[in-house]
Amino acid sequence: MRYKLTIEYNGTPFVGWQEQAGQLSVQSVVEKALNTYLRQKVKVFASGRTDTGVHALGQVAHFDVAEKLNRRKAVYSLNALMRPYPVVIRKMELVPDDFHARFSAKQRTYLYRIQNTNFPPALNAGRVWHMNQKLDVKKMNEAAKLLIGKHDFSTFRAANCQAKSPIKTLDVLAVKRVGEEVRITVSAKSFLYHQVRNFAGALVKVGLGKWSVADFEKAFKACDRTKGAETAPAEGLYFMKVEY
């Protein structure tokens, strides 16, 4: 039996999704709970890795087990086993054998949250990027539209990215103000390492007036990471959902 998990977590205490020797990862917490509940060793495969400090509302993973499970009971038990770590299973579904959390994905969506206030976050500390100067969302959106479609995204690619090609197709990149926050929504089938955080860093530079939209376009078309902006901090990034 193959089961699909939808997982939510606060990434603050973790080195990221992927298991690393001697480090606390989301994968290790989920697998330990499954191993305890099922009384056997189980390997979990995720739709994508998240970095240190990155959060998720809709990470997807799958695992295989011989017997059919009572899903309601399993979710309740797994969430109890994972306490006090900030990780929960939102949903468990029985899926076909050919489903794969990573390779069956057609689109992944991320959200980047910026608290745009003249005071620092208290309740949202560690969950947003704080920016005390007012951001020009209209200009940010104007710049964002330039990235929609299939492009060479080398300017937004981390130096240690292991992807074979910098060419990706971006389906959605939109910026909007929601109360005290500026939110950047990004969707694509797949992403380069740090691509979304590098988008956020560059768009904020436009929003602050440090770059014009023309400056942004010039940096983008240079296809050179050294021409880009700073990488936005991990704490503002959320893995929202995967579509299959």
CA distance 244 to 210: 39
Q: Report the alpha-carbon angle 88-106-71, nearest 5.
A: 35
H/E stretch holding 28: helix 26-38
CA 17 to chain centre: 10
CA distance 39 to 94: 19
Q: Which residues pair with 241 in a beta bridge?
A: 109
The DSSP secondary-structure symbol of 73 reads H
User: Which positions are catalytic?
Assistant: 51
Strands 107-115 and 237-243: antiparallel
